[in-house]
């Protein structure tokens, strides 16, 4: 029998809050984390809004050396991991460092550092780059920095599957614990993509919302008929996954059980999902079955729900393929309507929402749902969340390249 895995720690910094308490409060209140992007001049860009972290001061938890040595995507991850560590109540003498791992998902690494150093080399030559360029830009430095901070000597690596990165990282963390390769893993996702090249890259793909630059709070509207693209966002969500008996032995609080994981590839197109939701359905089915559950056991889905014209109806099709008539009974919401899309960091903060939804028995809302789309015909918890029974839930992530990662969480019971 596979070892059971539970969630014992949560940490985040994202457009809805710089800690888990504020984040969850703002999710419940259906607040907006999207604003006009003023970090650089957006005059030439058709999309001018983003999910922006406010009042972030890394020195609140980190030292000056940490800030100097890390790109923003690593700082977000380390900052959130410190909260997760504290939240989990971890003491050095209760964890074997060789049994502690770190697996973090990230889509594009230290892009801000890379862009800045390219400007330097263009102006001053190749040897003008800072000595820390390489370690600041590589994706695996985020888990490396966390491992160094907590002396985590077990498995440590990064996952890069575009927008599914964070969820795939958590799925692999679950499997490592099940396979007895670790007792505890810091996992989740991080991203810092608010840079000129990233914004331009997604704009030329015509993936971003462009029609509500003067109403940023209305720009992200998953499953709504008037959606016109996703809103790029920044931040990190880090969770502590732990083997059940290990958690119980040290008296840890348990948010939810990590019950299943599904993974697949559409094998269809570099950016577009399979039009019939084939890959998403395959991963959803795998996640439910690997959890030892039936489709009718699932009560809530935190959808990928990006607010793009193509993704939302395809994800709806995938859900209906797996759940059949039960799909109409499910509550399905997208918290990207409040945060925007954190790319590789999305899975981390959405798993936090899913875990807290189970713990609090609360269905989070989809903000800005105003006009139903005939192609999106499920219950998307429009505009206002409410309490209800959640026995088990899914957190969906679907990425460029056809990557699908689905995490299944359930209410913990002895």
Q: Annotated active-site positions, please?
A: 163, 304, 341
Distance CA 172, CA 105 (A): 10
Angle at 80 between CA 78 and CA 84, to 5 degrees: 110
Contact present, 228 and 211 (Cβ < 8 Å)? yes
94 phi/psi in degrees, rounded to 5: -105, 0
Considering only CA atoms, which of 271, 269, 297, 268 is closest in space to residue 284?
297
Contacts of residue 165, Cβ cutoff 8 Å, sequence gap at least 6? 105, 106, 107, 159, 189, 343, 344, 345, 347, 397, 399
Considering only CA atoms, which of 363, 382, 362 is closest in space to residue 372?
382
Between the CA of residue 83 and those of 86, 132, 237, 270, what are the distances in Å? 5, 26, 10, 36
Contact present, 272 and 309 (Cβ < 8 Å)? no
Contact present, 109 and 134 (Cβ < 8 Å)? no
Considering only CA atoms, which of 184, 269, 165 is closest in space to residue 6?
184
Residue in the structure block whose two tokens are 């409060």: 25
Contact present, 385 and 379 (Cβ < 8 Å)? no
102, two tokens: 């770190």
186, two tokens: 């810091």
């Amino acid at each position: 029998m596979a070892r059971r895995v539970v969630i014992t720690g949560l940490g985040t910094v994202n457009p809805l809050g710089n800690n888990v308490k504020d984040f969850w409060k703002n999710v419940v209140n259906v607040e907006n984390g999207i604003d006009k992007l003023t970090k650089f001049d957006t005059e030439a860009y058709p999309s001018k809004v983003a999910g922006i972290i406010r009042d972030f001061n890394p020195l609140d938890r980190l030292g000056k050396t940490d800030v100097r040595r890390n790109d923003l995507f690593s700082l977000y991850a380390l900052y959130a991991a410190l909260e997760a560590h504290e939240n989990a109540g971890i003491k050095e003498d209760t964890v074997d460092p060789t049994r502690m791992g770190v697996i973090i998902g990230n889509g594009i690494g230290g892009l801000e550092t890379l862009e800045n150093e390219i400007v330097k080399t263009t102006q001053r030559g190749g040897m003008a780059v800072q000595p820390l360029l390489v370690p600041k830009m590589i994706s695996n430095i985020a888990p490396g920095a966390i491992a160094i901070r907590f002396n985590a000597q077990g498995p440590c690596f990064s996952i890069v599957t575009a927008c599914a990165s964070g969820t795939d990282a958590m799925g692999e963390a679950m499997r490592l614990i099940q396979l007895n390769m670790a007792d505890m893993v810091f996992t989740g996702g991080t991203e810092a993509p608010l840079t000129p090249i990233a914004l331009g890259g997604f704009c030329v793909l015509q993936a971003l919302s462009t029609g509500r630059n003067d109403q940023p709070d209305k720009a992200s509207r998953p499953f709504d008929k008037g959606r016109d693209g996703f809103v790029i966002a920044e931040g990190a969500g880090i969770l502590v996954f732990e083997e059940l008996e290990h958690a119980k032995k040290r008296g840890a609080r348990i948010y939810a059980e990590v019950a299943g994981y599904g993974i697949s590839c559409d094998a269809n197109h570099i950016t577009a999902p399979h039009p019939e939701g084939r890959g998403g359905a395959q991963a959803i089915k795998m996640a439910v079955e690997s959890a030892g559950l039936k489709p009718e056991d699932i009560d809530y889905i935190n959808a990928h729900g990006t607010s793009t014209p193509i993704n939302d109806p395809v994800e709806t099709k995938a859900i209906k393929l797996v759940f059949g008539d039960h799909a109409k009974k499910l509550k399905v919401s997208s918290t990207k309507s409040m945060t925007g899309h954190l790319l590789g960091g999305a899975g981390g903060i959405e798993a936090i929402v899913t875990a807290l939804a189970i713990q609090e028995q609360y269905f989070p809302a989809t903000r800005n749902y105003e006009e139903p789309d005939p192609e999106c015909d499920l219950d998307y918890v429009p505009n206002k969340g409410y309490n209800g029974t959640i026995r088990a839930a899914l957190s969906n992530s679907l990425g460029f390249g056809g990557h699908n990662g689905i995490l299944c969480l359930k209410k913990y019971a002895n």
